[in-house]
Amino acid sequence: MNNTQYRLSRKTALGWVVALVIAILSIAGVQGQTVGGAEMVANGGFESGDAGWAAYQLLTTIGAPGQAGAAAHLQNAGDQIRGQFYQDGLALTPNTTYRLTFWALSPQGHNVQVAIVQTSDPAVSLGLLRSVDATEAWQQFTVDFVTTDFAPSAEG
């Protein structure tokens, strides 16, 4: 196993939303059945507003109510638009298991696609592309995934 960690440019930690509220977003390394390593998402509980986060084609506000404190309120900028809410520079290791955990609700009950991708050339999936069924009630989602055997970006 390659234990090299790379900082990759623009990864979509959570993307393609319609109307969604998220709270406590975290990514951590997984060893066996226990979570190991440090939290990788900066400001995952939104206590510092939207610091560390970026949005594309998305209307965002940070505030209450959250599952536990603050939450990010996200809505696509238009009917036919897939907004993206993301963080740059996650330090990921190729061929490694990670766990994405987050709380979400969707007032309209829309599915949400979560992805970890490198969007700079070459644009590649880094091992996570899933859809979760967000409902009108708070739900905790936990998604385990294995990163691909990616090469570092020129910007990384």
User: Pairing relation of β-strands 97-105 and 58-66?
Assistant: unpaired
CA atoms of 151 and 156, how far apart (whole Å): 10
Sole residue written with tokens 């330090």: 91
pLDDT at position 14, please? 44
pTM, whole model, 2 decimals? 0.74
Choose among 80, 79, 61, 77: nearest CA to 21: 61
A 10 A CB-CB count for 143 gives 15
Give me the residues paired with residue 34 across strands.
31
Q: Which residue shows structure tokens 């594309």?
A: 56
Mean pLDDT (the chain) is 73
Predicted pLDDT of residue 21 = 59
